[in-house]
Structure 1
């Protein structure tokens, strides 16, 4: 089988390519240029070239910066401007890796696209990875169901520690096993504020208000805050910790309150991507990547899902992805309103 593999210069994609080649497949490597971060691509392309040379496979460099700006980078900037919290990795997987890259794979005659994601596909559904600490099912939950048949994830049933150890014991792959883990958001060097400052003046002092709208303090600019944050703003005469409950971008205000006020038992979700044809169901829901799955009842009406949590969640942020699970399987997802 002819397979295109997305290669980043990291150990996961390098070892995935090696495994597929050893299984007898015809492998083609591809590195994607998605942004112009100085010095980023040169070192990664050099690493990918090394792997392709070791394995004796052809390598492509695909410039997808224009599409990345449209589908990932610009929404990232705009979402923060709206006072919400974006999820660029989910958008990148949907539109770029399993969208534009898959189109390229088909255009050069590949039957499948492989990546180094830690996730599994079983019975046409996304299944969590064997390694719970590296599971990336959350981040690919927006990928359309029909695309899954074209995907291969060689590491889904592997442990990350084993993959790194295997690489360290192979002379040609040793450097990949020993290198540090890459950042989750590829175009962010330090913090997201550094990115926003290229486009906006984020230092716009404004009022801190309570849930009733009463002014109780000051902040340094609403884009510096995300839901659940408890530092970096002033609350006059506060005697207990206060957390960001919501953000009003139009008024340059942040609404704060006590931890109990941060609790949410109902969540609305839009832009649904469902893998089951059900309008009402029980499931577990993750409202953030690292959050614990919570038992929930979900009702879908007019492409909006109303999630009733059986245990309250903290720090539920507009713009983040809510992913519905049934056991180990993803049954749908959508963005929090």
Structure 2
């Protein structure tokens, strides 16, 4: 009974991972680094699904069971580092890459150079076992640290009035829960005298299945986001002859400057320590529109997200307009027609249906 469930789950994980890969490939526009990492996650999970099917229909093989786990480990810590880390982002990603390639090198060595039966786990091979075990312990410690840091950040540093961060916080919480359960399952399996039992694969595949659902249901603003999701409270502007796009993004998007009533060209120019020509040129080069249009377009996007969230159904259009940064209902209607088409009232009714 359990074996049949495992086979169905493994196939389901493979199909879901394939769907995620295609969906991300088509619809996820930027940031490119995050897109690549999610694609690698999809590949690793699809590989795992096929690996488990091979294991139950034929036999254990290192390439089918251990390699997708190693690839998945590196992709997971890189995923959280890209979204939630700032200073430690690249060192964490580098660790993930190094861990994967060390295991990959061992696989090649004990498959082609000094052949050892592929049915024997790397951790059981003399000469490789100790290093592999150290890498596993190191990954568990690193992943645990990332989980704790991320938990602290999303519940202490996220702006409760920022709808984007609110969506990201809820989604991240569930993702972290499944990641922790995955890790607990992994650790218990490694401590077991008889690893890779049915119950291990059953729990692992269930966690993978729901993790894939969460990745498919990720906040849609991540698909084409100018937001640099940084939780660090400090921010320094580089003294350069030209405006740093990172500085602009941090103030304008991450800090939701476009929602502020005092959002003016002169005020933003002052915050960026830039000239009028520099700011105008930077905005046009990157967004092909004026400062005013950029402000209003992002306010409309925020208004649309407020309506879609379903948390503001009792708000009047006037209240939603002000929450989106507009001074009045009139300015909301004018900008909505320009950047979306139709009227806010019609849009709200269509979403409510």
Q: What's the TM-score, normalizing by structure 1?
A: 0.25
Higher alpha-carbon Rg? 2
The structure in which a higher percent of residues are strand is: 1
Q: What's the TM-score, normalizing by structure 2?
A: 0.24
The structure in which a higher percent of residues are helix is: 2
